[in-house]
Structure 1
Amino acid sequence: MKRSLVFFIALFLTAGIYAQKTTSGNPVFPGWYADPEVALFNKKYWIFPTYSAPYNKQVFMDAFSSKDLVNWQKHERIVDTSAVKWAWRAMWAPAIVEKDKKYYLFFAANDIQSDSEKGGIGVAVANKPEGPYKDYLGKPLIDRFHNGAQPIDQFVFKDKDGQYYMYYGGWRHCNVAKLKKDFTGFEPFVDGTIFKEVTPEKYVEGPFMFIRNGKYYFMWSEGGWTGPDYSVAYAIADSPMGPFKRVDKILQQNPAIATGAGHHSVLQIPGKDEYYIIYHRRPLTEKDGNSRVVCIDKMEFDSQGFIKTVQITNEGVAPRRIK
């Protein structure tokens, strides 16, 4: 009896060794999640996604960390509506910034449809990436529609001079604003305006920005998030203010693998011209709009600096540790 038990334990452990992941696989971790924001903190990769559920149940956020892009640890409920009193539903699209040894988590809440409703874009703060986060302002950072942009889908970008910009907006409008150094509000531009519209052609939501070789790559999602036409396109500019002229679509569904690929972020390996796109998509077996999973694939550039079409895969990426 004992020998049989030992045999099966040994067999189980041996199987575990051979079953170790050689690639991340897609999705990279289980569960319904969307709108992934990727970051590098303390020599770990982090993904902060939306918990994808009906809005009245979408009242918290989890985070995931990894040392190698392949094996991920879940950090549950890093923030929820009990910590943000003005938010009561539909928390989504996290954006994360580390500044002065604090971690600032920007989010949208309540899915407001007009200026008369309470909600919009808020910010929470914590001492660690995994939280717990608490409300930073006690009120939304943006709670109104400016230039037609619904206050959702915020992304915070640090420019080369240290200035932080917020790009945000739903309802096919995108604004940019200059954040104050303490993230309590916004500074006016030279002409006195606070929110400048920078909407590119076919923009719907989900803005993202990064710099490569001195150029500003502005990216966004197109199509409807519940449908097969959801996708990611981009522009290249010489300034964080644009103008952003659409170049092309670079991420979209593959009917043989998954549908509804979009709302992404981009990871650059430190010190390397090596990039990955982290995005959500819908498995072929799923029809529910909220059945979304987080995936990662390689993102490459041609000799002229244009982004090549991303091939979405089931394999994902190979292990990649931060040195």
Structure 2
Amino acid sequence: MKDTYTNPVGGITGIGDPYVLKHESRYYLYATSAINRGFKVWESPNLVDWELKGLALDSYYEKNGWGTEDFWAPEVIFYNNKFYMTYSARDNDGHLKIALASSKSPLGPFKNIKAPLFDRGLSFIDAHIFIDQDGTPYIYYVKDCSENIINGIHISQIYVQEMSQDLLELKGDPVLAIQPSQDWEGINDAWQWNEGPFVIKHEGKYYMMYSANCYASPDYSIGYAVAETPLGPWIKYSGNPILSKRMDKGISGPGHNSVTVSPDGSELFVVYHTHTYPDSPGGDRTVNIDRLYFEDGILKVKGPTRSPQPGPRSN
């Protein structure tokens, strides 16, 4: 194992929305990145040292011409012996939509199998597929505030639906999971966000981590909600946010996370972005990892950190 690591890791900048998949003994990192026609992929043996491996998905080679720009928030799962990627992009009609792609390798190339996955005449982003222990797939996604206007307020809300076993269809009606409701989420602002959902299960309960506030703001932060079922109802933790800025340490806008495990499987790690330049926050972000743990049913993070931390445990 690496004796220590110090955030940010991997020397990766110019990204956002980092998602890490652990498959067998390797880690694969996907993120919103500057190519703006697809997604880069990085590989690591230990969660700390990352090597750029190329493009996991390149829309230039797609023949249907779907997706023109704003390629955001890729996530990859290994399911039924295949790798599936969800992501969002702007379609020719101007709306942001979610797509589903697949590959035989975590490095790609990923090819669209359903783009868009659904079309409701508005913008939807930040898809996250969660496979429950009974094998039922669920998809969490964001109705984006760019077009979702309620009583004059631009608001991003997180919805959930069950999926078909082949992941190609959404079942039932959309269920509103969470929306901005806590003071730290800017509930008096004209633009409000709950986005970037990521669900984990612990001792029979479901924990949805999410981000609130504008991604370009130092106040972009992570909270979580808890439910007894994947469809909810979801109750936000009263102690939110659990990960927020530390400008005294040069930490601005920690958010849009994923969760993975250490090489030996004994530790949980949250993977999240922070602004590369805290004094000039924006779309240029970098990758961080910190330990995640549970204490009396409360989800906690040992972070955000900028000092040396013990390396992720390995076998």
1:179-215 superposed Cα distances (whole Å, 9 cap, x missing partner):
1111222222xxxx2x111124345211110001111
Note if contact 2:221-2:245 (Cα within 8 Å) is conserved in structure 1. Answer: yes
| Higher strand proportion (structure 1 or 2) | 2
CA distance in 1 between counterparts of 2:2 and 2:91 reads: 38
Where structure 2 has 5 or more consecutive residues not aligned to the other structure, the ranges are 146-155, 186-192
Note if contact 1:269-1:275 (Cα within 8 Å) is conserved in structure 2. Answer: yes
Where structure 1 has 5 or more consecutive residues not aligned to the other structure, the ranges are 1-19
CA distance in 1 between counterparts of 2:259 and 2:217 reads: 23
Counterpart for residue 300 of structure 2: 308
CA distance in 1 between counterparts of 2:204 and 2:264 reads: 15
Counterpart for residue 118 of structure 2: 142
Counterpart for residue 148 of structure 2: none
Shift of 1:176: 0.6
CA distance in 1 between counterparts of 2:292 and 2:26 reads: 20
Q: Which amino acid aligns with 2:31?
A: P
Shift of 1:140: 0.4
Q: TM-score, normalised by structure 1?
A: 0.81
- Aligned equivalent of 2:270, options 273, 277, 289: 277
Counterpart for residue 177 of structure 2: 198
For the pair shown, the structure with the greater C-alpha radius of gyration is 1
Shift of 1:132: 1.0
After superposition, the Cα gap between the structure-2 partners of 1:319 and 1:308, relative to the gap in structure 1 and judged at 3 Å, is closer
> What pairs up with 1:122-133 in 2 under 5 angstroms?
122-133=99-110
**Other structure's SS at 1:155 match:** strand
Note if contact 2:271-2:287 (Cα within 8 Å) is conserved in structure 1. Answer: yes
Residue-pair matches, total: 287
Note if contact 1:258-1:284 (Cα within 8 Å) is conserved in structure 2. Answer: no
- Aligned equivalent of 1:74, options 45, 48, 52: 52
1:253 aligns with 2:245: yes
For the aligned residues, what is the CA RMSD? Answer: 2.4
- Aligned equivalent of 2:225, options 229, 232, 235: 235
> What pairs up with 1:261-272 in 2 under 5 angstroms?
261-269=254-262
Note if contact 1:220-1:232 (Cα within 8 Å) is conserved in structure 2. Answer: yes
Counterpart for residue 167 of structure 1: 140
Shift of 1:164: 0.7
Shift of 1:237: 1.5
1:123-163 superposed Cα distances (whole Å, 9 cap, x missing partner):
111110001111112x30023257xxx31011110011101
1:74-112 superposed Cα distances (whole Å, 9 cap, x missing partner):
121111221342111011101111122211111000189
> What pairs up with 1:22-61 in 2 under 5 angstroms?
22-29=3-10, 30-51=12-33, 53=34, 58-61=36-39
After superposition, the Cα gap between the structure-2 partners of 1:270 and 1:240, relative to the gap in structure 1 and judged at 3 Å, is farther
**Other structure's SS at 1:40 match:** strand
CA distance in 1 between counterparts of 2:30 and 2:269 reads: 15
Q: Which amino acid aligns with 2:247?
A: P
1:157 aligns with 2:130: yes
1:209 aligns with 2:186: no
**Other structure's SS at 1:250 match:** coil
Shift of 1:316: 6.1
After superposition, the Cα gap between the structure-2 partners of 1:24 and 1:61, relative to the gap in structure 1 and judged at 3 Å, is farther
Shift of 1:300: 2.5
Note if contact 2:86-2:99 (Cα within 8 Å) is conserved in structure 1. Answer: yes
**Other structure's SS at 1:198 match:** strand
CA distance in 2 between counterparts of 1:99 and 1:58 reads: 27
Note if contact 2:247-2:278 (Cα within 8 Å) is conserved in structure 1. Answer: no
CA distance in 1 between counterparts of 2:307 and 2:2 reads: 10
Q: Which amino acid aligns with 2:26?
A: K
Bigger shift: 77-86 or 269-278? 269-278
CA distance in 2 between counterparts of 1:141 and 1:316 reads: 42
Identical counterparts, % of pairs: 30
**Other structure's SS at 1:153 match:** strand
1:57-87 superposed Cα distances (whole Å, 9 cap, x missing partner):
5222111221112221212111122134211
After superposition, the Cα gap between the structure-2 partners of 1:131 and 1:237, relative to the gap in structure 1 and judged at 3 Å, is same
CA distance in 2 between counterparts of 1:296 and 1:239 reads: 28
CA distance in 2 between counterparts of 1:156 and 1:166 reads: 4
CA distance in 2 between counterparts of 1:308 and 1:123 reads: 32
- Aligned equivalent of 2:209, options 212, 215, 219: 219
CA distance in 1 between counterparts of 2:42 and 2:297 reads: 31
CA distance in 1 between counterparts of 2:2 and 2:300 reads: 27
